[in-house]
Structure 1
Amino acid sequence: MRANKDELIVVTGASSGMGETTAYSLAAMGYHVLGGVLSADEADKISRPNIEPILLDITNGENIDSLVRRITNDRDKRPLRALINNAGIEFNAPFELLGIDEWRRQFEVNLFGQVSIAQRMLPLLRASKGTIVNITSVGGRVALPNYSAYAATKFAFEAMSDSLRREVKTQGIKVIVIEPGGIRTHMAAYSGQLSLNFAKKMSPKHQRLYRKLVDQAVASQTNFLRHAMSADAAGEKIAKITVKKLPRTRYWLGADAHMTIPMASLLPPKAMDWVLALSRRFS
C-alpha cells in the first residue's frame, strides 16, 4: 500500500486503546490523522508527526461543526480519505438493575454520536469517494448476559452500518464494519471492575439473583483478555483495512470473534445459550 500524505483520516476515540494505535499506524503510513480526544492532556499524549489532535466529543454538535470546518478549510486542500468511528463507552450490569439513564448514555455515545458525525462527514466522503469504518463488536452479533445495554447499542450500530452501506454504495462511498472480540485495552479491563463495583452495591435480594452472574461474566472476560489480541495488533489491522481499495463488508478481530460469530450463525438459539452458559461455568 502506498502512503499518501495528501489525504486526511479522522479517528474518533483516538486517545487510547485501538483508536490510539490505529492513529499511530495510519500516521506511520504517511496519512495525516485528525485524532479525536476529549481533553488537552489526551491531545498532548497522542500528538506526534502526522497526528493532529482534535477536541471531539461525538455527542457535542459544536465539536463536530468545528471538525467539519477544519477539514473544509484545510490549508493544503487535502481530501478526507476515511472516517473511523471508534469512540465508545461500556458499562455492564444486569438488565433489571441498569438505570434507564445509563441505557441512554450508552446509546448517546455508541450510536447517536456515531450517526451525528457520519452524517456530517458524508458530503466530504462523497467528494473523495472515501470510506467509513465502523468499529462495532462481537457484542453486536452475540448478546451475552450482563451486557444488555452495550450489546443493544452495538446491534443497532451494525444495523445502521448495513443500511448506510446500501444507501451510499452508488455514491462511491465504502462502509466497512469491524467486529472486535476481546482486545487488551484499558476500557476492557476497566469495564470489568465497574461491573464488580456495581455488584457490591446491589441489595441482598439482587445479590442472590445476580451476583454470581456478574462474577462469572467478569471472570470470563478477565481470563480471556490474558491471551487476547493486543491493542497494538488490532490498531495495525484496522489501519490496513481502512486503506484497502477493495475491502470486504465485515472483518473480525480476535480469536473469540472468529469462533463466536460463526457459531451464533450456525447453532439454534437454545444451543447457543447452552454453549455460553457452559463457558461461563468453567471461567
Structure 2
Amino acid sequence: MSGIAGRGQLPASGAVLVTGASSGLGRECALELEHRGFRVLAGVRRAEDGEKLLAESLHGRLRYALVDITDDASVRASAELAEREYGGLRGLVNNAGICVPGPLECVDGDQFRRQLDVNVVGHLGVIRAHLPLLRRSRGRIVNVTSGLGKAAVPFLGAYSTAQFAKEALSDALRRELTPSGVRVSTVAPGAILTPIWNKVSEAGDRVLDGAPPAVAELYRSAFQAFMAGNAQQALASRTTPEDFARAVFRALTDARPRTRYWVGADARRMGRLARLLPDALMDRRFSAITASVGAPGPLERQPG
C-alpha cells in the first residue's frame, strides 16, 4: 500500500515530522505513516525510545531525531536535519504534549506555565522552525488537540486551557498560511487507552500533594473519583490508537483536508455539545463532577 493514493487523496510521499513519537498515539502515528508510504522523522526525547521505534519499523523509511519542543536549539536541529536528509518536509504533526490535571486552585504557577509551554508555546516554535520547508512544498500542519479544546472540563482546567489555545493557534495559522498553500488541520481524539493515563494519575497526585493541605482536602475526594472515572472511560473506549493514526493520515493526504478531524464518539459528542448547548446547560452537565467539593471526608464527619 506504500504511496498509493485513495480516491480524493494525494499520494503518501515525502517526509513528515511527528513530535512526541516515543509512545502512545505519537508512536502509533509514526509507524502508521511509515507503513502507508511516508518517510517519517520521529521526534523523541530519548535515544532509547528512538531505537525501539527503529526496531519496530518495517519499511526502512523511519528515522528518529532527539527533539525537545521546549528547547529552541533542539527544534532548529530537527529542521536542519529534515532539510539535509530529505531536502524538505511534506508534513508536520504536532503531537507532543503533557497533561497537568487538578483543580485550578491547586495548580501552581510553575505547573500552569509548564502546561502552556509544552502544549502551546513549544508547538509554535516547532511550526516556525519548519515553516520554510512546508511553504516550499505547500505542505500540511496537523495539530493534535482533543475534545477538551472545545469544552473545558472541571479538574482538567490547565489542560483544557492549553487545548483551547492550540485550537485558536490552529485557526489563526490556517487563515494566515492559506495564501502560501500550507494547509492546517486539527485532529481531536477522545479517550483512548494509552500509557499516558498512568502519567496523568501520577501528575494529579503531585498537584494535590503540592497544594496547601486545607485546599487540597476540599477537592481530594471529588478529584479522585473523577480520575477513576476517566480511567474507566479509557478502558471502555472503542477508539484505538490506530483510529487516531488513520485520522492523521487523512489530514495529511485528503485532497481537500478538513479543518478538524474528530476521533471517537466521545470527542464528536463533546464538540457538538459545546457548539449547540448554552453555557448554563453545559455547566449542569458537569455539575456531578464537582458536587462533593468541600464535603468533609470520612475522618472529618462527626457522629450524629
For residues 252-283 of structure 1, give each alpha carbon's deviation from its aligned partner in whole angstroms, at most 9, with x where no partner exists: 111211111101211111111111224777xx
Corresponding residue number in structure 2 for 1:26 = 33
Alignment counterpart, residue 2 of structure 1, candidates 4, 7, 12: 4
Corresponding residue number in structure 2 for 1:262 = 272
CA shift for structure 1 position 216: 2.6
Residue type of the alignment partner of 1:245? A
Corresponding residue number in structure 1 for 2:179 = 170
Question: CA 1:267–1:44 in 2, change beyond 3 Å: closer, same or farther?
Answer: same
Q: Contact conserved, 1:26 with 1:239, CA < 8 A, in 2?
A: yes
Alignment counterpart, residue 134 of structure 1, candidates 143, 146, 162: 143
Residue type of the alignment partner of 1:30? G
Stretches of structure 2 lacking an aligned partner (at least 5 in a row): 6-10, 292-304
Q: Contact conserved, 2:33 with 2:245, CA < 8 A, in 1?
A: no
**For 2:286 and 2:13, how far apart are their aligned partners in 1?**
47
- 2:232 is paired with a residue of what secondary structure? helix
**For 1:199 and 1:279, how far apart are their aligned partners in 2?**
17
Q: Contact conserved, 1:93 with 1:198, CA < 8 A, in 2?
A: yes
Residue type of the alignment partner of 1:22? C
Question: CA 1:276–1:69 in 2, change beyond 3 Å: closer, same or farther?
Answer: same
For residues 90-123 of structure 1, give each alpha carbon's deviation from its aligned partner in whole angstroms, at most 9, with x where no partner exists: 1211111111001111111101110001011111
Residue type of the alignment partner of 2:246? E
CA shift for structure 1 position 225: 0.5
Question: CA 1:131–1:160 in 2, change beyond 3 Å: closer, same or farther?
Answer: same
Corresponding residue number in structure 1 for 2:65 = 54
**For 2:290 and 2:218, how far apart are their aligned partners in 1?**
16
| Residue 117, structure 1, aligned to residue 119, structure 2 | no
TM-score normalized with structure 1 length: 0.92
Q: Which moved more, 1:58-67 or 1:224-233?
A: 224-233
Question: CA 1:163–1:137 in 2, change beyond 3 Å: closer, same or farther?
Answer: same
| Residue 43, structure 1, aligned to residue 50, structure 2 | yes
- 1:178 is paired with a residue of what secondary structure? strand
Q: Contact conserved, 2:104 with 2:158, CA < 8 A, in 1?
A: yes
| Residue 194, structure 1, aligned to residue 203, structure 2 | yes
Q: Contact conserved, 2:154 with 2:289, CA < 8 A, in 1?
A: no
Q: How many residues align?
A: 280
Alignment counterpart, residue 78 of structure 2, candidates 42, 67, 83: 67
Residue type of the alignment partner of 2:277? L
User: Pairwise CA RMSD of aligned residues?
Assistant: 2.0
CA shift for structure 1 position 20: 0.6
TM-score normalized with structure 2 length: 0.86
**For 1:237 and 1:177, how far apart are their aligned partners in 2?**
10
Q: Contact conserved, 2:103 with 2:154, CA < 8 A, in 1?
A: yes
Identity %: 33
| Residue 237, structure 1, aligned to residue 247, structure 2 | yes
Corresponding residue number in structure 1 for 2:259 = 249
For residues 122-163 of structure 1, give each alpha carbon's deviation from its aligned partner in whole angstroms, at most 9, with x where no partner exists: 111111010000001111111111111111111111111101
Residue type of the alignment partner of 1:185? T
Q: Contact conserved, 2:12 with 2:253, CA < 8 A, in 1?
A: no
Residue type of the alignment partner of 1:25? E
- Counterparts of residues 70-219 of structure 1 (less than 5 Å): 70-74=81-85, 77=87, 79-196=88-205, 198-199=207-208, 204-219=213-228
**For 1:261 and 1:80, how far apart are their aligned partners in 2?**
31
**For 1:43 and 1:189, how far apart are their aligned partners in 2?**
21
**For 1:188 and 1:243, how far apart are their aligned partners in 2?**
30
CA shift for structure 1 position 70: 1.1
**For 1:236 and 1:45, how far apart are their aligned partners in 2?**
22
Which structure would you say has the larger Rg?
2
Alignment counterpart, residue 21 of structure 2, candidates 14, 23, 26: 14
Residue type of the alignment partner of 2:236? H
Alignment counterpart, residue 283 of structure 2, candidates 264, 267, 273: 273
